[in-house]
């Protein structure tokens, strides 16, 4: 089986073309083995590219975390997906329509491996996150390690909660992120963002991704953080999000409008493996 290794700002992926080669049954155990950074290929997520049966959709693709669980959305992954299908000649289009497990997106390939993604409108409906709270608020409190932490909650096609912190570089992202992500309040678990606001146009961000842990970048997490910031009138309509792997540029004009993300996608190498 042939595959490509790619990354979006250090958030890395194993990408597999299931259109031109025989499909493989990727069990959770197989994905965990492949994702192992010492004994396998090593990646945060696996992306499986499939043909679409809908004439209005160019491709369908599936996303699996390193622990083998399937998820709905991945902002860095979708940019790598767009660059992959164009690089490998699966399409000649520079504007691509794609569907994941729950999300439909329009992707645009720009110059210098930059990809623009229409991420749709952020969703604040608690029932669609989902979570056990029923009363809509701007911030919700979760007790973690005997401290009450305020979080904003939003879906970008996948669930996110975001807290505002100071001194982000020293923050205990792994331990707090794991505790929040696996809290019983979130039946499907949740991605956890830690946002440090520099000014209304710039934020720093670290993200604990469910089923993975902290990653160098998270595209949907960047969108979620900006959505929470704008929703609470803390950020402007255009924000640079600085992650440990690089920068993303997010634009959102508020309720009733789609959010847009621009960032890079990088092809690292091609390989093959016997399964």
CA distance 50 to 20: 9
What predicted TM-score, i.e. pTM, was given to this entire model? 0.92
| Catalytic choice (74, 80, 131, 161) | 74
Fold of the CATH domain 2-114+265-272: Diaminopimelate Epimerase; Chain A, domain 1 (3.10.310)
Q: Where are the domains of the chain?
A: 2-114+265-272, 126-257
Q: How high is the pLDDT of residue 24?
A: 86
| Residue 131 annotated in active site | no
pLDDT in tens, 206-247: 999 998 999 999 999 999 999 999 999 999 999 999 999 999
Contacts 24+ apart (CB under 8 A), 51-54: 51/18, 51/19, 52/99, 54/99
28 and 22 Cβ atoms separated by less than 8 Å: no
Beta-carbon contacts of residue 256 (< 8 Å; ≥ 6 apart): 121
Q: How high is the pLDDT of residue 132?
A: 93
Return the axis-axis angle of helices 75-87 and 219-231, rounded to nearest 10°: 130
CA distance 40 to 46: 13
- pLDDT lower than 50: segments of the chain: none
Q: Are strands 114-120 and 246-251 parallel, antiparallel or unpaired?
A: unpaired
Domain at 126-257, CATH homologous superfamily = Diaminopimelate Epimerase; Chain A, domain 1 (3.10.310.10)
| Catalytic choice (80, 131, 218, 223) | 218
Beta-carbon contacts of residue 229 (< 8 Å; ≥ 6 apart): 195, 197, 203, 235, 239
260 and 119 Cβ atoms separated by less than 8 Å: yes
| Residue 80 annotated in active site | no
Q: How high is the pLDDT of residue 275?
A: 85
Q: How high is the pLDDT of residue 154?
A: 97
Q: How high is the pLDDT of residue 101?
A: 84
């Amino acid at each position: 089986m042939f595959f490509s290794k790619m990354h979006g700002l250090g958030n890395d992926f194993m990408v597999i073309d299931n259109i031109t080669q025989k499909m493989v049954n990727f069990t959770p155990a197989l994905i965990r083995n492949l994702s192992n950074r010492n004994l396998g290929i090593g990646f945060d997520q696996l992306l499986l590219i499939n043909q679409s049966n809908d004439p209005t959709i160019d491709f369908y693709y599936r996303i699996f975390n390193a622990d083998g669980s399937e998820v709905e959305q991945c902002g860095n992954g979708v940019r790598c997906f767009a660059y992959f299908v164009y690089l490998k000649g699966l399409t000649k289009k520079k504007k691509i329509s794609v569907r994941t497990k729950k999300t439909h997106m329009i992707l645009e390939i720009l110059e210098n491996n930059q990809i623009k993604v229409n991420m749709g409108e952020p969703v604040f409906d608690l029932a669609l996150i989902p979570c056990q709270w029923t009363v809509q608020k701007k911030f919700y409190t979760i007790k973690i390690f005997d401290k009450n932490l305020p979080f904003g909650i939003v879906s970008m096609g996948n669930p996110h909660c975001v807290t505002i912190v100071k001194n982000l570089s020293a923050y205990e992202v792994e331990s707090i992120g794991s505790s929040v992500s696996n809290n019983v309040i979130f039946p499907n678990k949740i991605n956890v963002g830690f946002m440090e606001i520099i000014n209304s146009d710039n934020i720093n961000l670290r993200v604990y991704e469910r089923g993975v842990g902290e990653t160098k970048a998270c595209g949907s997490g960047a969108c979620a953080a900006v959505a929470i910031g704008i929703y609470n009138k803390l950020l402007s309509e255009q924000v640079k999000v600085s992650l440990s792997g690089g920068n993303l540029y997010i634009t959102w004009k508020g309720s009733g409008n789609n959010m847009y993300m621009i960032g890079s996608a990088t092809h690292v190498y091609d390989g093959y493996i016997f399964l």
